Amino acid sequence: MADEQDVPTERGLLRVSDAEREAAAGRLQAAVGEGRLSLEELDRRVAALYAARTRGEMEAVTADLPVEATPKSLRIHRVKSLSRIDGRWQVPAVLTVDCYDALVRLDFRQAAFVHPEVRIELSATKSLLRLRLPPGAVVDANGLVFHKAFVRNRVRPAKGVPGGARFVVTGQLVKGMLILR
């Protein structure tokens, strides 16, 4: 058991996760696109970023860049249509999905997570929702009320992947299907 002296008490001393490194790498690439960094400086900073073990070391790499504003929430409203979000995108703390007779696909595998928990609030009728989650993700769908609906949770807890994203699914699903992978 670790002594109390071994436990990091400051944010800068905490270990950095792969997801945090990927989000910071995205910020560096965006800075090149904005003309804030040269390609040579990008290479140097990316090498330092992936060598960083703590948040303090990682934050030093991006300290002179403006902070990206991640929206606190995102609302997806679809009626008899398709909505798909995939690739690299920043995940807000709250996703509200309101749909009727629609197909909604959300792929979180390459997404950047700023918040440790993502709340997905559903209000779906006659719809199919597919959520592709990153490795190590944890899902809590106990707050979801469903009527004549089907929920398939194929998310398997990955052993040895600490700090995975946590998803909390709430709301209602009527005559539809929710697939979690």
- Reported as a single tens digit per residue, the pLDDT across 102-140 is 999 999 998 888 788 999 999 999 999 999 999 888 899
| Range of weakest confidence among 6-10, 42-46, 49-53, 113-117 | 6-10
> Are 78 and 137 members of one domain?
yes
The pLDDT of residue 46 is 92
Mean pLDDT, the chain, whole residue set: 85
Instruction: Return the number of other C-beta atoms located less than 10 Å from residue 1's C-beta.
Output: 3
The pLDDT of residue 165 is 85
> Are 123 and 169 members of one domain?
yes
**Domain range spanning residue 33?**
4-62
> Are 138 and 98 members of one domain?
yes
> Are 79 and 58 members of one domain?
no
> Are 57 and 129 members of one domain?
no
Q: Cα torsion at 73, 75, 25, 8 (round to 10°)?
A: 30
Q: How far apart are CA 147 and CA 15, in angstroms?
A: 43
Classify residue 67: in a domain, yes or no: no
Classify residue 48: in a domain, yes or no: yes
> Are 50 and 77 members of one domain?
no
Classify residue 158: in a domain, yes or no: yes
Classify residue 112: in a domain, yes or no: yes
Could you tell me the pLDDT band of residue 5, with boundaries at 50, 70 and 90?
A: very low
Cα angle vertex 167, ends 79, 80, to 5°?
A: 10
* Structural domain count, the chain: 2
> Are 106 and 128 members of one domain?
yes
> Are 47 and 79 members of one domain?
no
The pLDDT of residue 112 is 84
> Are 82 and 44 members of one domain?
no
Q: How far apart are CA 94 and CA 106, in angstroms?
A: 13
- Model pTM? 0.62
The pLDDT of residue 35 is 86
Classify residue 68: in a domain, yes or no: no
